[in-house]
A and B are shown apart, each in its own frame.
Chain A
Amino acid sequence: MPQEHVEEYLEAIYDIAGRKGTAKTTEIAERLDNAPASVTEAFQRMKQNGLVRYESHKGVSLTAKGYKVATKMKRKHRLLEVFLAKILHLPKEKIHEQACKMEHTLTDETETALCKTLKGPTECPHGSPIPPCNLEVKNCQQCLAEVIGAFDKRDKDIVAITSLQPNEKAKIVFVRGGGGVTQRLCDLGLTHGTMVSLLREAPLQGPIEICIRGCKLVIGRGIAEKIFVQKT
């Protein structure tokens, strides 16, 4: 099974099930326009490689390893979309298909260069968040100011604070963006290395409530998605 197909499958599961959920075989088949039988076969292979959890009656979900590949592809895909729309001025309805083809051949180095050229975008032209990079940086300005290759890769995965489970604790490692909002978060105690826990989230992509330094804060989804944490 070619790597490109595996990546497409992982992305489809990511889109439908997200980090925590499960997707049905039929949903994936419909999305990728494949026969259910070949989808099932693909899942079996990917299960052997430790990318997904799959049981025929329950459906399919991403393992940590699979999730990592999926977010990486999503990042490349959405960065490419920004590039195609903003720099090459291609019409919005064409960029998705083009990005789908290009994403599989994009090296990590090109990905970083793309991100820097685009000044660290946070959303694709369709409004979906771009997952963060896995470099050892504390924020985007720091990365933009340095040459490519200046930072090592993180040894641990980081996730947006919004993808923690309720009452889960983690350490703040990276705040994306800059300016007034970042400064305010810092002033309220969300400094690097501080432990934070997610208390609850409001429905339909609403705000989240967190507990930091013994205080409860409500943070809007848009801001919260820029706060990245490392699970301990």
Chain B
Amino acid sequence: MKIDLTIALAGNANVGKSSIFNQLTGLGQIIGNWPGKTVEKAEGVLLHHDKHIKIIDLPGIYSLSTYSQEEIVSREFIALQHPDVVVNVVDATSLERNLFFTLQLLEMGTPLVIALNLVDIAKKKGITINENKLGQLLGAPIVLTIATKGIGVHEIVDAAIEQATRKSQEYKNVIRYGPEIETRIEKLERVLADINIGYPLRWTAIKLLEEDSEIIQKVKEKNPDIIIAANILAGEISEIHKEPCATVIASERYAVAVRIVQEVQTFKESEKSSMGERLDALSMHSVWGYVLLFIIMLSILMLMSLFGGWLSETLRNLFENVNPHITGLWPDLAWNGGIVGLYATLSVALGFILPFYLIFGLLEDSGYLPKIAYLMDRPCHTIGLHGKACIPLLLGFGCNVSACVGCRIMETKRDRLITVFLSTLVPCSARTVVILGLVGAYVGVQWAIALYVIDFILIFIIGRILNRLLPGISVGIIMEMPPYRLPSGKVVTKQAWNRFKPFLMTALPLIILGSIVIEAMRITNVLSLVSNALSPVTVVWLGLPAFTGFLFIFGVIRKEAALVLLTTAAGTLDIRAVMSPVQMIVFALVIMIYVPCVATIAALTRETGWKNAALITFSEIGLAVLLGGIAFRLLSLFM
């Protein structure tokens, strides 16, 4: 397909870039009310008046002097890939801070369209922005948008097409720094004119004064003398202002932003929505905040356990009632393999996974997740991390893969490695299926909760150990707090569906296929061969039935498959007939800890390298087997 135009969406975190992207492309980028959702760039194509337009959704970025990994993705794309137009999505409720980045984009000379988003919320807050004047001052077209409702999104594309055709225009010099800085920028521009590193001259000069390591490297390759000159000039500026040159420039940019805001924005104190303030006061309270967090977590667990248990019970009755008398090989394969597999998959998918994503969607869309990061920052310090680590860890409850990738919001390599390791131990929805679907449903909810508690203690202990092993201390949290908002039912259900779809597409066929394979292996006795080979571990050490051996292997592919296939391998829908409560708990415990699933191992390799991935995988297998055996012996004493 020929692409006529490439548009990149860029701007601060949590301003609605992904919402606009979804509206334009019809794709399902994860959206929600917290900063740091998008850590990878996403692409989609839009057909707009016979033109194929590629839309790129970039991670949130506050400044071109980047701070964490996902910001570097954005900066590199804007600076090096040269999209035809950059659409700078700006939060109308905090114009000043957002303009700081806009001004940097203008300095770079990027063809720019500004999408002034969240104008509805700004209006509610009593903020009015004169968009014509703003456009004049910035020298870029302004489009008013309400991304969540799709208002203004197609006008963005119109404006971008128009802007792209006027590409060769001189960009307006919005920021004039003080004369002491301008003269030095000019001096640098003159020497930079002799070399070409692909960036605009003025921007390169400013970045050199800001001591940007990447630009310094690029210029150094061409002419190291320029760096020496730049250092002297930067030194002179810090001499005059008595502070580092980079902060002088940042302060001046903010001064320009303040001036623009004063000219274009009027603020009328409206009837304050004190509801948000009151919710903040409660959910971030020194005592009640933690009580609330605990209640929320516990009720999610109870709710899912009860609902999932009820659903699988209902489904089982349904399937057992129609249980035909089977004779012959093929009908047996079809029924015991295919249909039983389907039953088990449906009960885990509809009973646990979909409800989880719905509840999680409510939490993230309301804006509660960042409050958890605030509340948990102090506890996180005991394991050498800071509160932001809670975000990938919470994502881990859904899926460990997104948690591993989400760890890019951690600023240092060390923090990232610890968080990645710990996030593979978070009970993901697949593990929740095993814990709640097996232990919760057959042994008792209290035992399921106990398993969660054990898992959290384990995460804590391993965090402490990693904190000891890996030198350095965490940089500490710096994070924006978005205001609460009423979750939108449409967004939450759509989001849950987007997350659920991959499960249906990949897991369902895989599990049904797996069920048939297992049934075939059972008939041909291959299953017992595999199981017998593993029996020293499974039977002797862990005290489990022999047929579980194969499940552990299959569980590497998908963990929920271990439970689903349990019914097939056991040859009955009622697991109580073949496993004792102790065995169920041990089985779930081992599944919970041992080896991340293949998709997670792949993500681990990508994020941390194969050595770390192998280390994490094997240490978790060892840990699971060790703890499983201990648990079996302890539990057998009184159960």
Contacts and interface: CB of A to CB of B under 8 A. Distances in A.
Interface of A: 137-139, 141-142, 178, 180-189, 191-192, 194, 199-200, 202-207, 209, 213-223
24 contacts: A139-B247, A180-B67, A181-B478, A183-B246, A186-B250, A187-B67, A188-B478, A191-B247, A191-B254, A192-B247, A199-B280, A202-B378, A206-B377, A206-B378, A209-B374, A213-B96, A216-B482, A217-B481, A218-B377, A218-B477, A218-B479, A219-B478, A220-B387, A223-B477
A214 B93 contact: yes
A155 to B, nearest CB: 17
B250 A213 contact: no
Given A181-B475, A223-B475, 10 more contacts: A141-B244, A184-B63, A187-B65, A191-B250, A192-B243, A202-B374, A205-B378, A207-B378, A220-B476, A223-B477
Contact of A213 (B97, B284, B286, B374): B97
Contacts of B247: 139, 182-183, 186, 191-192
A185 B100 contact: no
Given A187-B63, A213-B97, A215-B97, A222 B476 contact: yes
Best-surrounded residue of A187, A188, A203, A221 (most CB of chain B within 10 A): A187
A142 B238 contact: yes
A223 B478 contact: yes
A133 to B, nearest CB: 15
Given A207-B387, A217-B479, A218-B478, A183 B250 contact: yes
B515 to A, nearest CB: 47
Best-surrounded residue of B247, B287, B377, B481 (most CB of chain A within 10 A): B247
Nearest to A137: B242
B477 A215 contact: no
Contacts, number: 128
A207 B374 CA distance: 7
A223 B251 contact: no
A203 B242 CA distance: 36
A200 B375 CA distance: 12
Nearest to B387: A207
Contacts of A200: 281, 284
A142 B284 contact: no
Interface in B525-544: none
A188 B65 contact: no
B480 A187 contact: no
Contact of B242 (A142, A178, A214): A142
A207 B254 CA distance: 25
B373 interface: yes
Given A186-B247, A189-B254, A191-B251, A181 B476 contact: yes
B250 to A, nearest CB: 4
A192 B244 contact: no
Contact of A139 (B93, B243, B475, B478): B243
Contact of A186 (B251, B286, B386, B479): B251
Pairs A-B, 4 closest by C-beta atoms: A220-B476, A187-B63, A206-B378, A216-B481
Interface in B221-276: 238, 242-244, 246-247, 250-251, 254
Contacts of B479: 217-218
Given A184-B67, A202-B375, A220 B97 contact: no
